[in-house]
Amino acid sequence: MNLVIDVGNTRVKVALYKGTTLHYETIFLKKRIISELKKIKKEFVIDYAIISSVASLSVTSLDKIKNLFPLMQLGYKTKIPFKNKYKTPKTLGVDRMALVAAAVEQYPNKNVLVIDAGTCITYDFVDEKGVYSGGAIAPGVGMRYKALHTFTANLPLLKSDYPNNLIGNSTKNAIHSGVVNGVLFEIDGVIEQYKQQNQNLTIVLTGGDTNFLAKRLKNGIFANPIFLLEGLNIILNYNLKND
């Protein structure tokens, strides 16, 4: 059984796969990573593991995880099932690598745009020949709310919510309209630009804000909140086959 570990800024997402079939999934706080992984080790037989760490773990924590499982740490030198034409591969986020791997595996011979709506909103494009050139990085929903509060004197910090109207009739409603509609218009606009340049475009929406945004987007998309975890499993299996 494969164990895939995605370490974010504050939370860790973990999944177990038998081949390509999801067997188990959980989320917990980053500070509990060692204790939670020990629980998983007691409950399941783990053959191999892969870790993606956007927010870097300490060397001590990584060493402890390596002592628990045969661990692969995803990095720019890891073998990947697509051609990477990103000009600075050392700086390409490992989360984006996993998303592109999932796109190539699950939508072969297709042009795919993966939109990851998390802390940041990332756009990654892989063409029908499995060639990845890059994409874009923009502030996420939560980051936009925080920016309005942090960089102004009087605007409150709000939790994300759907605006009641395009025209906000109060400060709170105006913030919701500006942030949420701004994100939706941005995503729809980016999709339209990609559609104009690429025929038969498949769009995948993933990340923590998938469910929040999916129903409000105009363009047809495949919503998959665990696309990154699936990509990690794909990369792990790819390396096991090609060692």
**Predicted pLDDT at 54:** 66
H-assigned helices in 69-140: 94-106
Unique residue bearing structure tokens 């004197």: 153
Question: In terms of domains, do 107 and 221 share one?
Answer: yes
Q: What is the 3-state secondary structure (H, E, C) of 181-234?
A: HHHHHHHHHHHHHHHHHCCCEEEEEECCCHHHHHCCCCCCCEECCCHHHHHHHH
Query: Which CATH number characterizes residue 29's domain?
Result: 3.30.420.40
CA nearest neighbour of 8 among 27, 23, 24, 22: 27
Q: How many CB atoms lie within 10 A of CB 31?
A: 12
How many domains is the chain built from? 2
pLDDT at position 218: 77
Q: Is residue 238 part of a domain?
A: no
Q: In degrees rounded to 5, what are phi and psi of residue 211? A: -65, -35
Exactly one of 6, 95, 124, 209 is catalytic; name it: 95
- 17 and 122 co-located in one domain: no
pLDDT in tens, the chain (243 residues): 999 999 987 889 999 999 999 999 999 999 999 999 999 999 999 999 999 986 678 889 999 999 999 999 999 999 999 999 999 999 999 999 999 999 999 999 999 999 999 999 999 999 999 999 999 999 999 999 999 999 999 999 999 999 989 999 999 999 999 999 999 999 999 999 999 999 889 999 999 999 999 988 877 799 999 999 999 999 999 999 887
Same domain, 60 and 23: yes
C-alpha span between 22 and 140 (Å, rounded): 27
Give CA–CA dist 226/50, Å, rounded. Answer: 15
User: Is 149 part of any domain?
Assistant: yes
Q: Would you say residue 242 lies in a domain?
A: no
Range of the domain at 66: 2-73
d(CA 239, CA 231): 12
For 69-204, where are the alpha helices, taking DSSP H only? 94-106, 141-150, 171-176, 182-197
Predicted structure pTM score:
0.93
Judge if 117 and 27 occupy the same domain.
no
95 an active-site residue?
yes
One domain, residues 143 and 41 = no
In a domain, 239, yes or no: no
pLDDT of residue 155: 97
